Amino acid sequence: MLRSVILAASRSSQVERLVATAPYTRDVVRRFVAGAATDDALRATRGLVDDGLAVTLDHLGEDTVRPEQATATRDEYLKLLKMLGAAGLTPAAEVSVKLSALGQMFDEQLAYDNAQAICAAADAAGTTVTLDMEDHTTTDSTLEVLSRLRKDFPSTGAVLQAYLRRTESDCRELSSAGSRVRLCKGAYKEPESVAYQSAREVDKSYVRCMNILMSGDGYPMLATHDPRMIAIGEDRARWFDRGPERFEFQMLYGIRPEEQARLAGDGYTVRTYVPYGDEWYGYLMRRLAERPANLVFFGRALISKK
């Protein structure tokens, strides 16, 4: 219930104005977002890489409705990739891209062209790209763009969301050799017709999907903070004899950093998803929806008189 309300608010411009102008919002944002500028993203990446973690960088922004905005997002990724390469931070750092930020909502071909340019820049910088997955109305289009991109850039990664009923079948499709697939639970408000609604059903689906990916030929990227899912992931890695070069764990910047360090210390590949930029509202609201404790933290910061 609370999750649905917060996810609905994540698409309200009125609530966005309220949250963005609240006095201590910046303090909360700083916990989950590396900063506004490309240099902030680079600084955070350097720190994480020095600590033995891999990184995927996300320039915040989504649901773009104007071609010039989509072009600006593409150009920011091109600049970022050049800087990552020059700083020697590739291949440890790759980038995550939302097609809706590249024009998918109004022109799929434009989104493809922009994504293709980003993949080419990533390739030149010695790294790769993962396409984030958004709400279910975009899944077919995103997988279509993915399959076109993979013809030229086979390491382009996909994201599949365990809450969608279709995902087991998508995992089977995408578990072939060389296929990089991030498995997450899913962060959007979705109807019962397409998505499991209870946490228990989503968890069971996550495990079924993990089994398919970990027993397949691709490169699974297990994106979760859930201790049970992580323990099952470690178990499957032993069972299917997958070393640190054959799968990875992924977690979000600012969430369970000590667990990220613990897994990396145990010899696993761990990648931290690092968002940066000004357009943090939708991202922050999805993080709040995932965990009531984050909401308490947020509420405290908003009413704080410090």
Ligand X SMILES: Cc1cc2nc3c(=O)[nH]c(=O)nc-3n(C[C@H](O)[C@H](O)[C@H](O)COP(=O)(O)OP(=O)(O)OC[C@H]3O[C@@H](n4cnc5c(N)ncnc54)[C@H](O)[C@@H]3O)c2cc1C
**CB 182, min distance to ligand X, A:** 6
Q: What is the DSSP string of the chain?
A: -HHHHHHHHTT-HHHHHHHHHSTTHHHHHHHH---SSHHHHHHHHHHHHHTT-EEEEEE------SHHHHHHHHHHHHHHHHHHHHTT-TTTEEEEE-GGGGTTTT-HHHHHHHHHHHHHHHHHTT--EEE---SGGGHHHHHHHHHHHHHH-TT-BEEEETTBTTHHHHHHHT-STT-EEEEE---S---TTTB--SHHHHHHHHHHHHHHHHHSSSEEEEE---HHHHHHHHHHHHHTT--TTS-EEEEETTSSHHHHHHHHHTT--EEEEEEESS--HHHHHHHHHH-HHHHHHHHHHHH---
Question: Segment near ligand X (CB under 6 A), from 13-21, 31-39, 82-90, 180-188?
Answer: 180-188
Residue 17 or 166: the one with the smaller Cβ distance to ligand X is: 166
**CB 251, min distance to ligand X, A:** 5
Would you state the structure tokens that stand for residue 288, as one six-digit string?
């709040």
**CB 259, min distance to ligand X, A:** 8
Q: Give bridge partners of residue 182 from the DSSP assignment.
A: 159, 221
- Does 287 qualify as catalytic in the annotation? no
CA distances from 111 to 55, 101, 134, 273 (A): 24, 8, 14, 22
Question: Segment near ligand X (CB under 6 A), from 100-108, 136-144, 190-198, 290-298?
Answer: 290-298
- Does 182 qualify as catalytic in the annotation? yes
184 binds ligand X (CB under 6 A): yes
234 binds ligand X (CB under 6 A): no
33 binds ligand X (CB under 6 A): no
- Of 291, 292, 303, 304, the residue at the interface with ligand X (CB under 6 A) is 291
**CB 283, min distance to ligand X, A:** 10
- Of 55, 158, 159, 212, the residue at the interface with ligand X (CB under 6 A) is 159
Residue 38 or 139: the one with the smaller Cβ distance to ligand X is: 139
Q: Which residue among 58, 74, 132, 287 is the active-site one?
A: 132
Question: Measured at the alpha carbon of residue 125, what is the angle toward residues 120 and 129, in degrees to the nearest 5?
Answer: 55
Q: Which residue among 74, 150, 182, 287 is the active-site one?
A: 182
Cα 174 from Cα 206, distance rounded (Å): 15
Site string for ligand X, 95-134 (x = CB under 6 A): -------------------------------------xx-
Q: Tell me the number of residues near ligand X by CB under 6 A.
A: 25
Residue 14 or 198: the one with the smaller Cβ distance to ligand X is: 198
**CB 224, min distance to ligand X, A:** 3
139 binds ligand X (CB under 6 A): no
185 binds ligand X (CB under 6 A): yes
Backbone angles phi, psi at 184, to 5 degrees: -130, 170
Site string for ligand X, 186-225 (x = CB under 6 A): xxx----------------------------------xxx
**CB 223, min distance to ligand X, A:** 4
Residues belonging to the active site: 132, 182
**Given the rule CB under 6 A, which residues bind ligand X?**
132-133, 159, 161, 182, 184-188, 223-227, 229, 250-252, 255-256, 273, 290-291, 294
